Structure 1
């Protein structure tokens, strides 16, 4: 079967294969059909049967219908069934296997030879045959011969076989004849598929047309690029290695038009060497894949400028990989090559220049590796360039220097530009030389930093010259400044100190000293750190046994002249040279100058000469200053003598050899009353008082002759005739020949001295204020009285008394008035005593009276009573104010209370303190138990000194109860002392006054203040409302430091100022009213509350009360304790409450111990209550427990109702 297959199989691979094909004579391709979407293929239903090679063919014509009834032949629909398929479908092999003989054949009616499709089995016997007429004049015949069986069953078997044959033929006929009808449907479906394919093919064709158009434009663009690319492009055919095409750049570079180059080979165009080079390149391109790079070659074409071309080649291959063309690229590198050539020439020139440069030159890359060096650099470093190229400074230099060089290079690369600096370099011989580096950054062609080029210049000689000049200039400047100092300085010590400073600071020397020797004394002017070395160096110079340094200018470079140990010590300090300059003026050696230099520092001859000149100038200055000092000393001595003579407090008389007065001083006139002109030319006899006889003056003359001096006391007469004692000294003045030229008389007026002596004598035994005998004189008088009483068998009474409340009086009325009061008291004592000598003032406000020869104790009692009566009479101060005083009196009697003065005095003192303890204004006779109480007091005082440090003091708190709510509103801080050695708690009325007496009250008071503030802070979590604490302040604490202490306590413990209340008594405030009020205002400014304690027991001055910035009044317990039963106490308490509320003050009543007192105070509007009725004073722990467990106290019901009424009627503050 022939034709062009235009469809795919539409039947099973095992069944007949059906194809649609065209007539071979029809040249229409499938594309033309697909462009006719309305075409439909139909069958003519007149199949033709034929046979192919091993197959059965059924062919049917196909026509193309246009829808208008005009059908046109298009092709055939052919079904091909292989014989193998038919044999398999008819199961002919199975029949043969079952013993049948089978013959399946096609017979042509035209008589042609039959075609056997299958034969098998035994066909010798007759069988059954059936034929099927096929279209096209052919018969399809199937003959079947049954297997041999018994005769009896033959007919039945024949019938069965016939049926079987008929069935087979029927199946075959149905299959073959039914096939065209099936194919009609397939053709219709295929026709629809073809229509869709035609539409798709149309779209594809349109896309291809567009692609061809784009390809055509691309070819044009590629042609344009090919022609206009700046590089040379040559396209060679591989087949004959001739040029197929070139671009314009090739024409330009080769200097030939394309018609002279196209179709030619390398050998026809280029010189043989170049042609061979390019041909070898073509061969390499064909042999290896990718782009082949060739070296740059010089191309010289006839009548054209030679060019340098860089070639590269690649091969263009077809789809099968066969090489078609060689594509040759050529880049015109003529300008680059010329530039490279010029650069090489310049580089060669630079290399020659660098080599010819006399100094070391080098270059490095950015990594610090040496790129090039010249021969001087090799000599400079001491290494050949082969050991330097590619190395860094870390490979050739010491590490420390290498780090410095590397840091400088990096800084230069970072900053760019140029760099010039000086450094030290280790050169070939191992020494380190001063070098100046000139460096600059060089760049690569792309502008990036490529490295550093530098020149190293040995500047050692220049540096040495600069240092020499600098050193000379420095020494000249030092010389100039010291010369200027010499001219303007007159003080030697300042001159030497400043000269040393200038030498060291301006001269730049590490250590300088100036050693001065004068009057066997040695002085070093130097820094403390170098002074010991200076002394040892000078000892070496001055040691006669080890004298190795001449006593002239000395320069020692290595400090190894003599003492090796000293040299080593100085070397460790970096000092290795010495310049020693003696200070000498004529024969006088003033000392020396020592200069220690650093390592490597030496002194040139010029410096040594200048320094030697400096030492000479300084020596001259010392000599000049010495002479000046001697001259000034002489002048000063003379001036001092004149000043002493003129201003001496003692009188001076100078007489000549004839004893005539030639000069007197001012003191002479002051003492005697004679002016100088009244006495000059006269003899000192005009002062003679006539109180001394001739023998007295003879002894005076004899002493002058023998000893040249006389001194003694003498009585002379003033000009006014008054005699006066004086102490006189007379001296003789002799000339160089020993002759007496003058008498110098010096005298002192002893009048004032005599008065002072008398005053001292008086004060030794008498009181300066009252002129009464003092304690010592009284004791002596008592000893005499006791001696008389012993002889006569009499008694002696010793009376000690102390003025009551004198301290308060002193602070109230002032010291002057208090002194006048003491004088008046002494006068009244003298009136009562038998003798003034029997009355004494012992100190302060204490007096003593001695009653000798007492007949009985009653006599002493009567004396004391009269004395107290006299003292009870009022005293008037200078303001005519009455002052009332009383006295506490103690009495001891000899011999009952003591046998000696000391015992009687001590016992009288004990008795006096007993009277004081009993309240004062009374007298007590001595009893033995008084001594015991005095001993207890001493012990108490001793223990109290250490109570605070031993932790024996504590602060207890007694609550304030609000009358409006019954709640605890605050507390009073109360000091307590628990001393185990004294048996437990000590009464505050005993130890608090003692604290004031022994001066501990300020320290303890400040401690109490801090304890109270600390507890206030600790109670915060226990109270819904902030509590306040009242702290008592002693009068001794009311000083200018108190506000600071209070402010510090508040700040240290972080409490609010209004939580602290300061309590003061009226008497404490009134000690110094103005000062007290000022302190209270300062405290008030801090925000604390102020309270007057024990109101009503002191001054209670309303004028002062109005001025005080108080917030609280506290009613004293002495009033509270008698309420409500005592009418007077009730009236006073109500008056205080009314006064306080009128002044808008808060009122606290202390000492509340009964319900009646509480009810009364609440009824009358008292704000806060304090007392044992609510709680005793308790420690801080117990108080905290009280706050937690009993924050509210129950007040009397009636008092609550009354208080509410009072406040409702606005009777409450």
Structure 2
């Protein structure tokens, strides 16, 4: 058929040619050629028409996808005009499509984000990047802002020139708000973990520590860094480690809370009894990932329980004794009355003890019969007390609970060990949870304390509900776009989708299979969600794990919808993908902190920035008697006991405002009106901008500790021999005095006193005599002091004195003289030994000699050393050392002036080498001082003095002239042309007319301007930018080169570099020294090279000393280098020889 059609076509062509051209063959050929061209043109036109029709259909399909896309898409002209946007983009910016397309992207961009956006656009147009991604804010017509993730790429024409920008926008406002809320809650809970006095620790399934709060650090005696990474066996000896390991396994097997008590030897050697609450740490999949342990030191509680048992036994003994007395002494009425009074007093004592406890207290015999019962709150009993006493447990409790109680009673009597268990009882107002603690009270009696823990259980459930809400809040929108054509079964992906799955390229369609990438546990569920969305038209929202290109599974959330045609037939399935891994990990950390919050037995109160209570924990309600409902929305003022004045609270608030932390003791009020002494810690929680968002208060009841703490406080801060403050208290008072002096602009003095020949007295007359002498000295010194001064014994025979409010420095000298005079009289010991007491004193003044406790004490110690060296029995100021330093500086200045006049300065030259050719193309002139007495003095010793005294200008002028004269001499000697670089100090740059000075030197020496390069620091340029720009422009007009020395150590910006006429950037040697060992320095150096080249500036690396550093610079296309690898700085003659050797090799 094809051959027949071809033959017919040929005949038709020949016939047509004969009709057109006649019988001449040559004319036939021309006619056939014309007809063939016409046929070919017609075929091409028809083919083009079909292609255009197909293209229009494809464009319509793309336009439909873009219009219905779940993300905002826009086309932007090079001048910023939004030429095309889809409906989602218009919704995001709060306008219609027509309104949006009349705007520029600059019009809707938040002013704070515009500069960064424009910088990225500039990089895109310059070809430095092929796309960029950033988070920014858009402004809506109602003045609200909306956060988005913006991805921008540049579309180019067939000629390679930029045509327009393509932008994809995803609304992340909800994500930002959720992240902010999550961050605030996480900060609050972290603050609570750090503040509570309970020991909090987290271990993995192998028993290795992952976290330990400060209370745990104090108990274990190690820092958190030392604890983390160690196992239980590496922290605790046996059998403690084995017991802890068994408790962990029990909590994991029961998947619930395990309570136990353990005894530990604390870091200070004391033995502490710790009540431990151990529970599994659950991951996001509900599986245990570790163990969380919260421990509370219950040593005092156990002590109180023993006291209660003793009181109970004493009460029974008194009752028995009273009964025997009544039977034996019925005839003696007076004695009987005395016995009754004693019995009543004992009963009142017992009732007072019981009334202080909020729990039910039972006394059981070995068979579970209730022997006695005490209850401070009678409403907790379901029947009168008299009806309960004498009844068996089986009469009151369900069978299962009766068996449990009898089991624990038996264990208490058999093992003499406390028992703790929880149970639930139905009461008229609902089910209540109780915790029962049992301990032996006699040979066949058990004392049991029952506590209602219903509120704790409810709080735990409420927290779990809160955690569930939090997980929903942190679900953010995705940023990976997919589009599945259900007709052709083709899937296309956005570039971000590939990056989320860590693909090296953007083409996933070849080997991507959604089902195969899903985690096996998530596969069926996720595929079912996709089918439901396609079949029933429901939105697709699913969370699942997918395997990335590198093999790692990460959590994602997919959201999308099915697009249908006019007949309801599914056409496409498109949506976005969000990486949830980091967010879920953050939720897990929040869950951990929430468990700690619920487990602590210290009261916690959280307020907002306006001091309104927003949250309290269970312990708060237990300690202060208020319910959570009663305190929410109130201020902490409702707890005020009236024992503190207004100044106390103002000082507390001032310290919170100044440092963000307040700690101390405070008296608050219980709901029943009774005062409660507390140890309170308040911390300010700040947002990323430094603004206070909440306050967290953590407190503990210290009623039973105040007296013992007062005794310990004195022993901890005072010397037991002299009763003077010790070193710790002295340092605290010195620190406080310094803060006060700084605030009020006052002066103070620190004096160190040391007894002369005290060791001789100890050795000659014994330590008892030495102790007597120390107490005598302390007494004599105290008599000479003002009430505001502080005298302390630091140790041995060393005393320290703090003088407040020093009006004149002579005040310290006068007091020192009085102290020396007061101790000049002979001292007689209790045994009649008479000795002369001498003392040496060192004085240091704030703020002249130091501003910190350490520097003041060091200064006073140095002055004391000087006083002993000057003959003892005298005082010396630390200012003597300062005088010596000042004299040395004056001496250097005088000698430096002579050096300038006598020609002692000289220049050394270090080669600057072209990296490509390896040839020396320049030299940096470096000044040296050839002192006739000390030899060659480096610049580090005399340049700072020159800058401080103004000599730097004269030295700089000499260096400039000498370097130019030497460079001209090398040119005249026929050596290859090179550039000589001269350093200009910031003072020289700003004080002198530098351009005029340079021009005069060039005229005098005849050196061409192109052979001179001036090196300036970043700081000199940035100090006065406008003035610096004028000076640089004048130098550029002269033809002189300009280099920025030590680049990377200052604060110059890219915008400043673009404005300044700069020829060379010199990378500071600090970024070269650690190459190739420090990847950060390598990245910085590479970035400086790339930035310099992008601005058309040459880059020179300083301090190159190794072949590896040189190879790195060659790989990064650095232009020049200098350093010891090529040559040290050389005198002019040696440098000239180096140039001649290079010239001879070239020749």
TM range, smaller chain: under 0.3
Whose Rg is larger? 1
RCO greater where, 1 or 2, for CA within 8 Å and sep 6 or more? 2
